Structures are given as structure tokens and as C-alpha cells.
Amino acid sequence: MSTYSNKNDKIYYNIYKSQKSTGNLLLIHDNGQSSKIFDSEIKFYSSYFNTMTVDLSGHGKSNPSSDKKNNFWVSNAIAISELCEKVKFKRFSVIGIGGGGLVGLNIALINPNIIKNIFAESIPGLEPDLNYMNSILQFRDNIKDSDKKNFFSSLNGSKWEKILDEDSAMQQTFTENGANYLIGDSKQINSHVLLAGSSGYDLIPDIEDRLYKVSDLLKKTQVHIFSPAKYPLIINKNHEYRTVTLNYLFD
């Protein structure tokens, strides 16, 4: 893995070159995960695109951010935008899971010319709320007493529980402060966005309503609802996930 540092963040990243590239693709994991969630997908996506993965701050191999504004999704978007400019990874598509989708939307606001389109899966909305926070806390508490802890351990090793706890605390503080996930007005996002989730989702039970509300706040958006599945969809609805994302990215 390579690393890029700006004044607030040290971001670890990998770029996988495609033999027959049709463009560039950035894969961004969710809060509490790491880029390892894409390990099984690299061969598939890099057969079509030059593909970059990143570890968000405080996750995987990346250090916690020193951004005093405490907007995780904005500070990571700034660092990744700078990284993409530095390595000349331009005009790319984004697949973002949960918080990774929010980071992708922020990149589109910060540097609109480098984003082609965004597949944003499982985002909770554009501003935090107590119902979502309670869902996240309950989901993460259940992880510690279930087989799901093996999955999160595979992503972040022995520090997986510490990463989840620190991220939960960060999100609780952020929710209490009443801030917005985005750095600017969502109507200023000119990239096409496909919002996705699953009916009967265990992570966010009311995900369908949330996605349609977000859709109303964006200019160029569609919504895709997967058949019932558990989080994360990229693993549990893998075949459909690949089909939907590939068709969208090539559209």
C-alpha cells in the first residue's frame, strides 16, 4: 500500500491498473470497515477500470485525522481529492458504502470536475439523526456477541472493536452538534448519483424512506432497492451488486 499525507490526514491507498481500462474507479468503504472489504472485488472491477482503494482516517492502515472540525466525511473527502490530483487519478466513478458514499458526495462538491458518477449504497441521509444513531449503536452492540465480529476482525484485525467504539463516539458527538454530513448544498452536486439499499435492512431498517428523501435533495439521482439482505450488500448480494454497479458505471 502507498500513503498520502496532508495537514490533517494520512491516507493509505492502492491503485490496481487495468489491462483494458475503460476509466477510473474509486472504492470507498463504510465507517467501521477498511479497504479490505473490497479484496474479493478487485479482480472483477480492475478488469474494467483502473481501480483505487483507500483506508479512511482511523481505519485500516490510516491514522486518525487531526482535523479539529471533526467532520470525518469532509476531511476524508478533502484528503482523497488531493490524493487523486497528486497521482493523476482523474475523472473517476465512485462506489461508496455508507459513510464512503457520503465521502464521495463531498468529493463531488469539493472538486466536481474529477467525479463522473457515484454509486452510494446504504447512506443514512444528508444529516445525522437520533433514530439512525440508535440503529448504528444497536447494530454494533449486536456484532460483539455474534459471528459478525469475525467479519469486522478480518477488516481491521485485533483493533476492530476499538475502531467501532471510537467511530461510534465520533458519530454521537457529530449528531449532538447538529452538523451536516456535506460541506455544501446537495443541489450543487452535478454528478449522477445512484442511491442503493435493501428492503428489510438489518443495518438501517427505514433505509428505503431515507434514500428517497435523499433523492429529492439531489439533482441527478436514481434509487435501486435490492431484495432483502443483510449488511454489507457488497458481500451478501454480491452477484446483483456487481451487475447493478457495472451497468450503472457504464451508462
Exposure string (b/e) for 180-213, b if CB count within 10 Å is 16 or more? bbbbeebeebebbbbbbbbeebbbbeebbebbee
The domain in which residue 57 lies consists of 2-250
Contact criterion met (CB below 8 Å) for 52 and 81:
no
Higher per-residue confidence, 145 vs 135 = 135
The CATH number covering residue 93 comes to 3.40.50.1820
* Residue 21 pLDDT exceeds 80: no
Place of cell 481500462: 21
Query: What is the reported pLDDT for 8?
Result: 84
Query: What is the reported pLDDT for 2?
Result: 94
Residue 22 banded pLDDT, cuts 50, 70, 90: confident
Q: pLDDT by residue (tens digit) across 73-129?
A: 999 999 999 999 999 999 999 999 999 999 999 999 999 999 999 999 999 999 999
Backbone φ, ψ for residue 16 (5° rounding): -110, 115
pTM over 0.85: yes
Number of domains making up the chain: 1
* Residue 6 pLDDT exceeds 80: yes
* Residue 70 pLDDT exceeds 90: no
Q: pLDDT by residue (tens digit) across 192-229?
A: 999 999 988 899 999 999 999 999 999 999 999 999 99
Query: What is the reported pLDDT for 67?
Result: 76
Task: Give me the percent of the chain exceeding a pLDDT of 70.
Answer: 99
Task: Give me the percent of the chain exceeding a pLDDT of 90.
Answer: 86
Gyration radius from the chain CA atoms = 16
Residue 20 banded pLDDT, cuts 50, 70, 90: confident
Higher per-residue confidence, 4 vs 209 = 209
Residue 69 banded pLDDT, cuts 50, 70, 90: low
